[in-house]
Structure 1
């Protein structure tokens, strides 16, 4: 599917209720962590860290931090025991992040909002964006990449899906049923999450819409590379984009850029 539509997602809207947004993010965190969605890109992250000489990942647009613990653990067990992650977001979720921090060595977070297109210079690390780059229209996406180029930090952008009509069909049919089945098992427990899933099903309804729009807004690899080259007209970074596949089928779309002088 090459079509890209710049539709809106409810979770992006500033007036959208934080309680509903948190419920949606908790569901995504649970699914991404349980399925190990981003495990296939750990070798790419490990290589980027080694190329840039960094040990910290600065996760932008972290949401509820889905998959972060598994990625960090895998980095620790594949030759990078000093690896760390700092979670940031324009809408921080410190309560969810504290839960992760209790069981994850090397994880920190910033409680203040962080704009991914203008990251403070005192926040070091190889930047990562998981499941969120599609939220940015082309001009903002280019600005996000350009900020990483300007600060010479390196960046990795990852979307836990391929851009296919089958993914869209799953988002409308199978995944809503899964959400209804797993919600009681999501931790930490939240009464509001149960209320707005079963009694007043706002969380599932908005999740279906946002999930479908996410796929339609995704940038395929050629478009990711085009954005990267616009953000880095001088060619100071080495860029690679593509798709990696889980052994059981699902795909992860990625873009990675590292400063060229590092020898990448």
Structure 2
């Protein structure tokens, strides 16, 4: 799919109800974690951490932290013991993050204050990552996000849990909504509001269908990702690579990763 449309997503709107956004993020976290969406990029991230001698991953736009535990465990399997992850977002999700912190004995922590990914505070170090969220940024903002990482001299990895294919768009409109209706009662932590706005007033699944479809249409291709990286780093201070990683069972992850040259 070469088409890229700059449509809106509900979760980006400042006035969008927090309870609905949280319900959508809970679903995304559950599905990404259950499917191990980002497990294939663990070797790439491990290489970035080794190249930059980092022991902390700073996750930008973390949402509800979907897939973060999977990535952390995959990094440990890559021999990266002792790695810590800090979750941040413009719209923090402290309740969801506290649940993750408890399950990982504090190895995955969070920043409670709102964090703008285009201007990350200096007191938040680490190899920067952004999962399933880079498409939210229009080109100017996406370039600024990468430029801020270059300016800080830290590595950065951009990962989208799709390969941008028409089949994925079809799944987002058909199979995945059915899965959401079947699995919602099993999401943790439990929220009564999630049940109300899924079954009585199905606002969460309807907004999820829209945002999931638009996400695919807004995704950058690997060529566009590299162009953004080179524009953000005109002096060539970073080494950049972009591509796609495959799961053994089919799905793809589109990525851009870069770190300072030695």
Question: What's the TM-score, normalizing by structure 1?
Answer: 0.98
How is 1:37-116 mapped onto 2 (pairs within 5 angstroms)?
37-105=37-105, 106-116=107-117
Deviation of 1:78 (Å): 2.2
Match of 2:34 in 1: 34
What is the DSSP-based 3-state SS (H/G/I as helix, E as strand, rest coil) of the residue aligned with 1:177?
helix
How is 1:188-203 mapped onto 2 (pairs within 5 angstroms)?
188-203=189-204
Alpha-carbon displacement from aligned partner over 1:16-66 (angstroms, at most 9, x marks no partner)? 000000000000000000000000000000000000110100000000001
How is 1:1-264 mapped onto 2 (pairs within 5 angstroms)?
1-105=1-105, 106-261=107-262
Alpha-carbon displacement from aligned partner over 1:113-148 (angstroms, at most 9, x marks no partner)? 000000001110000000000000000000000000
How many residues matched? 261
Alpha-carbon displacement from aligned partner over 1:163-208 (angstroms, at most 9, x marks no partner)? 1111111101111111000001101111100000000000000000
Deviation of 1:233 (Å): 0.4
What is the DSSP-based 3-state SS (H/G/I as helix, E as strand, rest coil) of the residue aligned with 1:248?
coil
What is the DSSP-based 3-state SS (H/G/I as helix, E as strand, rest coil) of the residue aligned with 1:129?
strand
What is the DSSP-based 3-state SS (H/G/I as helix, E as strand, rest coil) of the residue aligned with 2:245?
strand
In structure 2, the gaps of 5 or more residues are none
- Distance in 2, Cα, partners of 1:251 & 1:48: 20
- Distance in 1, Cα, partners of 2:78 & 2:258: 21
RMSD of the TM alignment (CA)? 0.6
- Distance in 2, Cα, partners of 1:14 & 1:107: 27
- Distance in 2, Cα, partners of 1:206 & 1:153: 35
Deviation of 1:75 (Å): 1.4
Contact 2:42/2:78 (<8 A) preserved: no
- Distance in 1, Cα, partners of 2:186 & 2:25: 14
- Distance in 1, Cα, partners of 2:93 & 2:25: 9
- Distance in 2, Cα, partners of 1:111 & 1:170: 34
- Distance in 1, Cα, partners of 2:251 & 2:120: 31
- Distance in 1, Cα, partners of 2:2 & 2:226: 14
- Distance in 1, Cα, partners of 2:82 & 2:232: 31
- Distance in 1, Cα, partners of 2:97 & 2:217: 29
What is the DSSP-based 3-state SS (H/G/I as helix, E as strand, rest coil) of the residue aligned with 2:230?
helix
What is the DSSP-based 3-state SS (H/G/I as helix, E as strand, rest coil) of the residue aligned with 1:168?
helix
Alpha-carbon displacement from aligned partner over 1:204-246 (angstroms, at most 9, x marks no partner)? 0000000000000000100000000000000000000000000
